[in-house]
Structure 1
Amino acid sequence: MGESPDTMDDYMRMSKRTARESMYTLSRGVVEIFGDVYLWKPSLHDLQELYAAHEERHGFLVMIGSFDCTQWKWKNCSVAWKGQYASGHHGSPSLVLEAVASQYLWIWNAFFGVTGSNNNVNVLDQLPIFNDLLNGKAPDTPFTVNGNEYKYGYYLADGIYHQYSTFVKAFRHPVEERDHFFKRRQEGARKDVERVFGVLKAKWHIVEHAARPLDLETLRYIMYACIIMHNMVVEDKGRNIAHYIPTEPKHVQFQPRTTDYLYRVVDIQDANKHRQLRKHLTDYIFYGNNNDNDSCCFFF
């Protein structure tokens, strides 16, 4: 993927149009056949494996992964849509890819197709990753840090995102030594998702360069196909943390605007819990887990 259609003219005796349509068909086939296997949502077992791997590598307890967005320029965006898909920051039409990645570059969650005029905060309001948590489709993973209990795992994110209880951000203006230490550790661990974006673009040049297809659905198939094949490469190298289990148990679901649903909304968007969790993680990482054996417990 990513080669010019002209390169196939002499070798494959294929016209530019045939090569282009063949690539579109391939992308659709990859997503429809392998999407369930290589884009599955983490189960409780997967989360435990992720927690163990990230704690060993980065020292962060109950960290699901790193969270961020990147832009894919859209060269042949329709003139009628350019105002919607362009932003002053990027200057040209683009589409947004949101991803959650682990230390071993496996992409656990991907959401592509948001208009480029949105920033990272606007994109956050449209993501299915929190809808699953709010609707009870994602498993709860309660844990305690330094004697304080929390209900959900968290993602490392940069400073632009909201102060959610499921995000852990670095200190913007650290003062104490432990805050500086935590900032370095958090920024170093959060580079996992930045590395994923770099590897994805280097491996599949079609994602590195401006997109040419006119149809938005085709662009989605291409992007998801590249992500699936990226995860295939990670698995082939033996670097995937967990393995696909087709008989994953179903989770309880809540209807929107019910008491349970609204309680989860308030709980996730609690800025006080965000600051409290960051403080407790800072103490845990800086001082170490030397006080007692109950400073971090899991309740799976």
Structure 2
Amino acid sequence: MLLIVIFFDRLSNEVPYFKQKKDALGRPGLSALQKYTAAIRLLAYGTALDAVDEYLRLGATTARLCLEHFVQGIINLFGNEYLRRPTPEDLQRLLHVGEYRGFPGMIGSIDYMHWEWKNCPTAWSGQYTRGSGKPTIVLEAVASYDLWIWHAFFGAPGTLNDINVLDRSPVFDDIIQGRAPQVNFSINGNEYNLAYYLTDGIYPKWATFIQSITLPQGAKAKLFAERQESVRKDVERVFGVLQARLFLGIKEK
């Protein structure tokens, strides 16, 4: 509720479209609350644009503009804070915590979940439905120990698995394009400059992915598997929090 109030306050004061104006006769036009409520209802219920006509006295065209300006306003006002890559300071903090937890060089856990698409068009249902289930959209996320999602890739069809989603994901774009911050750490006397993520067994065996041991043999292997699986639960906790707080239609893999 607090976030909703903060969003409304900033949108109504800093986005020109949400400021109440007067028409040619001097009568007040639509209020910021009407426009804001229309956008929220369209996002929350996925209804048609004219569904808010009787409730908020808005036509379909105006409702579409409310939604477009709301989304763009949120990106412009909060994007630099919440939709960003880790800064060098963030990376140092993540590396420090990873080393303290027994994984030097680890900067997060990566995984994906299925988001149920209630209003999926019938023509697209085959592309987004796996088996006999309901249409879903894949949400890939990299999360840290404090539930910070610093990478999110949303929109892949639910018929894809982790590897297919990874092929489409921009998670490694900074590395490929040479814009990734330098990371240096040491393990067993060897120096490394490429950070890694904790994953489950389906991800490819790349240097940037550290998986658990499927059938650990011996005390050392069992300890590693136990620690890896424990720390990798960070991203699972994130999905659980999203489901609990935002009542999202998130399903298990």
Question: Could you give the per-residue CA deviations for residues 185-221 of structure 1, whole angstroms, max 9, x where no partner exists?
Answer: 111100100000111121112x2379xxxxxxxxxxx
Residues 209, 161 of structure 1: CA spacing in aligned structure 2 closer, same or farther, 3 A cutoff?
A: closer
Letter in 1 for 2:99: E
**Between Structure 1 and Structure 2, how many residues are aligned?**
203
Distance 2:169 2:157 in 1: 13
1:1-300 correspondence runs (5 A): 14=56, 26-56=70-100, 58-88=101-131, 91-205=133-247, 207-208=248-249
Question: Could you give the per-residue CA deviations for residues 123-181 of structure 1, whole angstroms, max 9, x where no partner exists?
Answer: 11111111221111212313221122322011000111000100111101100111101
Please identify, of 141-150 and 110-119, the stretch whose mean Cα deviation from structure 2 is larger: 141-150
Distance 1:52 1:17 in 2: 53
Distance 1:209 1:175 in 2: 35
Letter in 1 for 2:232: R
Other-structure match for 2:3: none
Distance 1:99 1:87 in 2: 20
Distance 1:188 1:198 in 2: 15
SS at match of 1:60: coil
Unaligned 5+ segments in structure 2 are 1-39
Q: Which has the higher contact order (CA 8 A, sep 6+)?
A: 1
Q: RMSD of the TM alignment (CA)?
A: 2.8
Native 8 Å contact 1:5 1:16 kept in 2? no
Native 8 Å contact 1:170 1:187 kept in 2? yes
Q: CA deviation at 1:76?
A: 1.5
Distance 1:199 1:121 in 2: 25
Question: Could you give the per-residue CA deviations for residues 98-137 of structure 1, whole angstroms, max 9, x where no partner exists?
Answer: 1111111011111111111111111111111112211112
Residues 15, 59 of structure 1: CA spacing in aligned structure 2 closer, same or farther, 3 A cutoff?
A: farther
Distance 1:187 1:31 in 2: 34
Residues 28, 178 of structure 1: CA spacing in aligned structure 2 closer, same or farther, 3 A cutoff?
A: same
Q: CA deviation at 1:54?
A: 2.7
SS at match of 1:71: strand
Letter in 2 for 1:184: E
SS at match of 1:91: coil
Native 8 Å contact 1:202 1:208 kept in 2? no
Q: Quote the sequence identity (%).
A: 45
Question: Could you give the per-residue CA deviations for residues 30-84 of structure 1, whole angstroms, max 9, x where no partner exists?
Answer: 223211211210122211111112333x221121001100111112212221121
SS at match of 1:125: helix
Other-structure match for 1:249: none
**TM-score normalised by L of structure 2:** 0.71
Instruction: Please tell me whether Structure 1 or Structure 2 has the larger radius of gyration of its CA atoms.
Output: 2
Residues 187, 101 of structure 1: CA spacing in aligned structure 2 closer, same or farther, 3 A cutoff?
A: same
SS at match of 1:55: helix
Distance 1:44 1:121 in 2: 28
Distance 2:233 2:178 in 1: 29
Native 8 Å contact 2:104 2:186 kept in 1? no
SS at match of 1:87: coil
